[in-house]
Amino acid sequence: VSGEGYPSDSEPQTMSVYLRVRPFSKEEVNSCEDQECVVIENDQTVTLNAPKGSATMKSSEKGVGLSIHKFSFTQIFGPDTTQIKLFEETVQSQMSDFLNGNNALIFSYGVTNAGKTYTIQGSPKDPGILPRVLDATFHHIRGHQYDSMDIKPHLRNDAQFLTSEQVKQEKSIKAAVFASCKESDTLSVSLRSRSSSFMVADSTVKVDGGQFALWVAFFEIYNECVYDLLQPALCSKSKKRAVLRVCDDGAGNAYVKDLRWINIMNLSEANKILQYGNKNRSAAATKMNQCSSRSHSIFTMKLLKIDNDAVKGISEFSLCDLAGSERCNKTKTFGERLKEAANINNSLLILGKCIMALRNNQADRSKSCIPFRESKLTKLFQSFFCGKGKASMIVNINQCASTYDETLHVMKFSAVAKQVVQVILEKPVLLSPCLFGRDGKPLVRPGTDSLAMEGYLSEDELLDEEDEADMSVMPQDELLSLVENLKSKLLAERRKNLVQEMEIRKEMGDAMMQQIMESEELRSREMEELKESYQEKLENTFEMYKEAIKEHAYQSAMRNLEDDYVSLDEFTAEQEKVEGLKICHTWNRTSTYDFVLTEERCKRLYKEKSALETMCESKQQVFEYNLHIFLFKSSLSLLNYCFPADHSKSLEDVLLQNIEKDKEIEMLKEQLEKSLKSSPVQLRPKRGLLANIKDAVTSPRNSSSARTLRKTVRAFTSLRMFLA
């Protein structure tokens, strides 16, 4: 990382962050996970489109945040990318660094089921980066292998000479590990042909006549505890796996104390080590009811360059398969699971914090503290972020709509990582390995100041906050001061833990709160939809009833009109007759002939006329009554429908009034019938009701019958309007 004291020729470069998008599985296609959430624009740009129902889409609908996000990467590998292409285009430069004595780190990051393990380890038929790195390494050192097994990696960057007894021990450990593994040649066969393209391209690696020894270790970090995956699995359920400590080598480099390192000679042995470690990992996971993706697994290779029984250089290549980055609110975690999620989140959170702090330190020169020591993972990776090796990240994502929000979170994290600038230091002489003798004491090289070497402590003497000193041999006052010292350390540690716990609690609290709010919002939306559907149903029913009442009212009105109306033709004919008689009467008065006879006839006709007029009036009254009754009845039905309880009393009153009106009508009808019987006028057969109404309304004559009909039509229209 850029900073004072680095050589001026060290080229700053941003951390390489690659993206690999895995293809859909058949099940995912069947369950409609493909909603075009991930669109690869070109080799370096990808667009993420939030699917319907995702939290991102909901936030964008509320105007908080966007539904489309664009990200750029060092290189993007689509679903069709082969393992060999990925290896050649991502690992090539780091592979050369490693073979030339520099350190390298690759870590895969992503949610569960995004393809991290597939990318790092692959399958026996299609090996991932790790077997290919091993294969390329063996290809490189072939014919130059140091096979005595008596020089072993020590602490973080150093080496130790082993006694013959120790070599025997190493050999028996290796034999025990291999004894439980099956021979598998398929991997090496499939790799041989495929990684040849890398070998051809690899012309920068120098062998310089020395010899090489490759030592490997495989461990995992679960719940902030380091476990060796190359230790034999425990048979008894009650026995706990040994937790290894992360210590400081005295030069500020963290290393895993008592970690098993195994010297391997070929790819077949490397494959057995991988098999053994993976078996141990899944056995431990099953025993603890844990899912393997809940731990970070780290495979480390150390390449020792040996010349004339002296170690000239040590380089390290670590490949880390990080735990799934999903947040605790999605994993429905309780108890142990919650602790597990909190620890995963914590280490990934601290990794994120470190990356963020590195980026910020580059942006503004006021250097803030980078919290590497807050988690085991970042403690072990610290040197890579401080110029002692090149780190690169492979971000794995799936394209599933259901995990979109988590994928977006991963992409945001990667966007920050991509801005981290690394300044890789040329390995200075001081960083070349310190050698330890067979007694565990540092070896004095010719030309090295022996006083300077006295500063080195053996592994057991190294001061580390996690190490315990042997107190039984110490004088009392030293013990007391040690106790004081430890007390203040404990206090500081407790404070640090408290702050850390508060941060985790806050993050988890926030996540839970967000989940509660999301489910609350979902529930209220469902309630709203339910309310709307009921409202709609109610309105439909109401409309249905209204239509039925209208229909009923119309039918009743029609029936009443048919029953009680006198044909207009008939009425007009009668009137014309009366008019004619009037004229005749006037004409007859001037004539003397047959005067008496005409007068009598006139009287009779007048009588008939007045009878007819009475009849008409009665009929009109009957019609009007019927119309009023009908209107009352309709209003009543409507009121009863709308206000069933509150108006029952007033409705009863109206009904009583109606009954009285009905009686009145009956009486009037009887009178009318009587008058009709007494009337000598014979009624002509009725014409169609509607034709009568039409005639009356369109008639130019302003006769009383026409007026009556027009009034009726108006009443009928207002009734229809009232009902509508």
Ligand X SMILES: Nc1ncnc2c1ncn2[C@@H]1O[C@H](COP(=O)(O)OP(=O)(O)OP(=O)(O)O)[C@@H](O)[C@H]1O
Applying CB under 6 A, the residues found at the interface with ligand X are: 22-23, 110, 112-118, 292-293, 324, 396
Q: Of the two residues 65 and 79, which places its CB atom closer to ligand X in the complex? A: 79
Q: How far is the CB of 237 from ligand X (least distance, A)?
A: 24
Phi and psi at 571, nearest 5°, equal: -65, -45
Q: What is the three-class DSSP state of 311? A: strand
Annotate 384-406 with b (16+ C-beta within 10 A) or e (fewer): bbbbbbbbbbbbbbbbbbbbbbb
The radius of gyration of the chain from alpha carbons, rounded to an integer in Å, stands at 50
Length of the chain: 724
437 annotated as a binding-site residue? no
65 annotated as a binding-site residue? no
CA 282 from centroid of its chain's CA atoms: 28
**DSSP-assigned beta bridge partners for residue 307:** 310
Q: Of the two residues 80 and 466, which places its CB atom closer to ligand X in the complex? A: 80
Q: How far is the CB of 229 from ligand X (least distance, A)?
A: 15
Q: Of the two residues 306 and 401, which places its CB atom closer to ligand X in the complex? A: 401
279 annotated as a binding-site residue? no
Q: Of the two residues 22 and 302, which places its CB atom closer to ligand X in the complex? A: 22
Neighbours of 446 (CB within 10 A): 4
Distance (Å, whole) CA 259 – CA 244: 7
Q: Of the two residues 43 and 449, which places its CB atom closer to ligand X in the complex? A: 43
Q: How far is the CB of 323 from ligand X (least distance, A)?
A: 7
452 annotated as a binding-site residue? no
Q: Of the two residues 333 and 703, which places its CB atom closer to ligand X in the complex? A: 333
Write the single-letter amino acid at 502: M
611 annotated as a binding-site residue? no
CA end-to-end span of the chain, whole Å? 81
Q: Of the two residues 378 and 396, which places its CB atom closer to ligand X in the complex? A: 396
128 annotated as a binding-site residue? no
Q: What is each CA distance from 691 to 351, 569, 696, 697, 711, in whole angstroms? A: 93, 10, 9, 10, 16
Instruction: Find, among 139, 143, 147, 97, the residue nearest to 426 by Cα.
Output: 97
5 annotated as a binding-site residue? no
Q: Of the two residues 264 and 408, which places its CB atom closer to ligand X in the complex? A: 408
Instruction: Find, among 395, 391, 422, the residue nearest to 407 by Cα.
Output: 395
Q: How far is the CB of 42 from ligand X (least distance, A)?
A: 19
Q: How far is the CB of 355 from ligand X (least distance, A)?
A: 20
Q: How far is the CB of 380 from ligand X (least distance, A)?
A: 20
Q: How far is the CB of 89 from ligand X (least distance, A)?
A: 14
Contact (CB, 8 A) for 608 and 679: yes
CA dihedral defined by 406, 408, 409, 411, rounded to 10 degrees?
130
Q: Is residue 517 packed enough to be buried (19+ CB in 10 Å), middle (13-18) or exposed (0-12)?
A: exposed
Q: Is residue 321 packed enough to be buried (19+ CB in 10 Å), middle (13-18) or exposed (0-12)?
A: buried
Annotate 407-430 with b (16+ C-beta within 10 A) or e (fewer): bbbbbebbbebbbbebbbbebeee
Q: How far is the CB of 406 from ligand X (least distance, A)?
A: 11
Q: Of the two residues 38 and 114, which places its CB atom closer to ligand X in the complex? A: 114
Q: Which two tokens stand for residue 14?
A: 């941003």
Q: How far is the CB of 83 from ligand X (least distance, A)?
A: 8
- Ranges of H-type helices in 418-468: 450-454
112 annotated as a binding-site residue? yes
Binding residues for ATP: 110-117
